Structure formats: C-alpha cells, structure tokens
Amino acid sequence: MSRIGKLPITVPAGVSITQEGQVVTVKGPKGTLNQEINPNITISVEGNQCIVNRADDEKQNRAMHGLYRSLIQNMVIGVSEGYKKTLELVGVGYRVSNQGQVLELALGYTHNIFLALPAEIKVETKMERNQNPFIILESADKQLIGQVCAKIRSFRKPEPYKGKGIKFAGEVIRRKAGKSAGKGK
C-alpha cells in the first residue's frame, strides 16, 4: 500500500465529500471544490473519515493512490480553513496596489504591470512607510493560489546579489558575493 494513500482523511464538521462518477466534490464553509479522479480510484466516507482506495496493485494505480489522497486532503483543508500566501516586494521604488481583483505592480520597468486575478482569490495589499510592500492572497484552492503566486513572482524573481525582487514572506534568498576588487598581485 502507498504510505500516503492508505492514511485516512479526517473530515471536519461542516465539510461534506461526495463522489458522482469520476468527480469528487468537497463542500465547506469557505466554498466548494471539484476534482476529477481516475476511474481506478474510489473514495468511501465513514463518519468523519474519508478513505481512498485503488482497484489493484498496478504501478500506475499505486502512483495515483497517494496523489488523489493528497489532492482530496488539500481540498478539505481549503474549504474548512483556506490557504494564505504572503509575497514581499524587495527593492527601491517597488510598489503595489489593487482595485478590486486587479493588481498593479511597479517593479522598476518602464511601465506598471496590471494583473487580473481570478474571482476565487481574495487579495489585499499592504504598504507602510519604511517597510517593504506586501501582497496577501487568500483562497480555498491550493493549486490556484500557488499558480497565481508563481505568476506574480515571475515578473521580478529575487536575484542573489542585492536580494531585490518578489519573494515569499520569510523566504531566505541565498546571497552571492559580488566582484572582488584587486585580484592581481
């Protein structure tokens, strides 16, 4: 058995899991998420636990067992607690603001970057004097929030010499030494 796949998923109060055909639906206080699953994988809900089963021990099914268990676990956490990611803009003159679901980034290019965010994501920007600007994203969908964070980060990745760029809050950037002056004898 897959070590991850055989673990039961604890379903908190207020969350329901249903399977119709090959689509698993998880409903909770923060929203509803759907995931299409492989026909060889089935789920069974008993009380406050959900168990993911596979048809046989074929290599492909063993691989899918742990994957779908993790995806369903992430959906359960998402609809009950939600996911929150914080991005920090490090650099002189870097600014961020939002009007509804449109994010405006000033990252040292000749023009500002406008990014329309999906409706499932709540966005908040924080700019305080003498501190780096922050972008706070919240959503029930872990995959979507990660994809949006990667897109925002791709506009100006952190560089190793000065540490400028967009990074996750708390992320440590490995620094490199610059040119060393006077190498000659």
Counting the structural domains of the chain, the total is 2
89 with 140, same domain: the answer is: yes
- The Cα angle at residue 140 between residues 60 and 115, in degrees rounded to 5: 100
The pLDDT of residue 103 is: 95
Q: Say yes or no: 53 and 67 in one domain.
A: yes
* Residue 96 domain flag: yes
Could you tell me if residue 21 is inside a domain?
Answer: yes
Order of strands, sheet of 31-36, starting from the edge strand that comes earlier in the sequence: 16-20, 23-28, 31-36
Say what the pLDDT of residue 153 is: 95
Q: How far apart are CA 143 and CA 70, in angstroms?
A: 12
Write down the pLDDT at residue 132: 93
Q: What is the pLDDT of residue 98?
A: 94
Are 59 and 17 members of one domain?
A: yes
Q: Do both 17 and 52 map to the same domain?
A: yes
Sheet holding 165-168, edge to edge: 122-126, 134-139, 83-90, 165-168
Residue 181 is assigned to a structural domain of this protein: no
Residue 150 domain boundaries? 83-168
Query: The domain that contains 162 carries what CATH number?
Result: 3.90.930.12
Q: Is the pTM of this model over 0.85?
A: yes
89-147 pLDDT, tens digit each: 999 999 999 999 999 999 999 999 999 999 999 999 999 999 999 999 999 999 999 99
Identify which of 98, 90, 70, 86 has the alpha carbon closest to the alpha carbon of residue 5.
Answer: 70
- Does the residue 141 lie in any domain? yes
Residue in this structure with the two tokens 């026909």, named with its chain if needed? 39
Arithmetic mean of pLDDT, 52-68: 91
Q: Do the domain assignments include residue 15?
A: yes
pLDDT at 181 over 80: no
For 57, counting Cβ atoms within 10 Å of its Cβ (0-12 exposed, 13-18 middle, 19+ buried), the class is exposed
- Structure-token pair, residue 123: 């966005």
The rounded percent of the chain whose pLDDT value lies above 90 is: 82
Q: Which pLDDT value is given to residue 184?
A: 57
